[in-house]
């Protein structure tokens, strides 16, 4: 019996591999699905690098080398600078690849122009996204020991004034997490419905040339 070959779902002649932060994986896939960007493939570095930015650039360097060896000619970096202090840009320049514009995901979700307009006002704001709402316990409560020692809240969050939830989707459960987190941390609460912000335009830039 002849085995059927599954056709490749590729838009244009070239695939594009997005090497992204694990914190935005769901969002990259959502944009790909919504816009029908079947030329995109996705692989991710660990989401925990968000809190260990020194690991991002060397891990990205290794990931790009691995992707090139696997035959990918077109690669897009699914990160902003993300606290690397320019180290990620040096990796991108070394390999001739582009990344998402901006300092971090909190900026490109809002859109860089909108972020720049509120950046000074938000200096004492603690940002949460859909991902961070889903992972609030794993990323904050347990690692910081706040579930066992809530008296440490002031040590970690005492310099913040409000929690700003940057919502990629309209999800009452996630919003409830953000509201409860703000109450738990003793912060004022604000929700901004950002959608995917500049992430959509960044992924549109990967479309193969006609």
For the chain, 210 residues long, give each residue's pLDDT as a single digit of tens. 344 433 333 334 579 999 999 999 999 999 999 999 999 999 999 999 998 999 999 999 999 999 999 999 999 999 999 999 999 999 999 999 999 999 999 999 999 999 999 999 999 999 999 999 999 999 888 888 888 998 889 999 999 999 999 999 999 999 999 999 999 999 999 999 999 999 999 999 998 764
Please report the sign of the dihedral spanned by the C-alpha atoms of residue 31, residue 34, residue 39, residue 41. positive
The confidence score (pLDDT) of residue 142 equals 87
Longest dimension (CA), the chain: 68
CA 127 to chain centre: 13
Measure the CA–CA gap between 22 and 43, rounded to whole angstroms: 8
Quickly list DSSP for 83-151: T-TTHHHHHHHHHT-EE-SSSSHHHHHH-HHHHHHHTTTTTTEEEE-HHHHHTHIIIIIHHHTTTT-GG
The confidence score (pLDDT) of residue 141 equals 84
CA nearest neighbour of 194 among 103, 115, 76, 101? 115
pTM of structure: 0.88
The confidence score (pLDDT) of residue 143 equals 85
CA nearest neighbour of 196 among 130, 133, 123? 130
The confidence score (pLDDT) of residue 183 equals 96
Domains in the chain with CATH codes: 16-106+196-204 (3.40.50), 112-193 (no CATH)
3-state secondary structure of 138: helix
Are the beta carbons of 198 and 108 closer than 8 angstroms?
A: yes
The confidence score (pLDDT) of residue 10 equals 36
């Amino acid at each position: 019996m002849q085995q059927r070959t599954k056709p490749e779902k590729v838009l244009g002649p070239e695939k594009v591999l997005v090497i992204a932060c694990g914190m935005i994986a769901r969002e990259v896939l959502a944009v790909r699905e919504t816009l029908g960007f079947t030329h995109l493939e996705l692989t991710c570095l660990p989401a925990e690098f968000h809190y260990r930015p020194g690991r991002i650039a060397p891990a990205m360097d290794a990931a790009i080398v691995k992707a090139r060896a696997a035959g990918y000619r077109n690669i897009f970096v699914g990160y902003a600078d993300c606290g690397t202090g320019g180290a990620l840009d040096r990796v991108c320049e070394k390999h001739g690849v582009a990344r998402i514009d901006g300092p971090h995901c909190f900026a490109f979700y809002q859109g860089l122009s909108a972020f720049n307009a509120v950046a000074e006002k938000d200096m004492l704001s603690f940002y949460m996204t859909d991902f961070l709402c889903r992972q609030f316990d794993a990323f904050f409560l347990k690692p910081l020991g706040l579930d066992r020692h809530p008296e440490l809240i002031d040590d970690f969050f005492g310099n913040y004034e409000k929690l700003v939830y940057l919502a990629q989707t309209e999800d009452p459960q996630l919003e409830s997490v953000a509201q409860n987190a703000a109450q738990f941390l003793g912060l004022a609460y604000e929700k901004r419905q950002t959608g995917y912000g500049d992430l959509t335009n960044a992924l549109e830039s990967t479309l193969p040339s006609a």
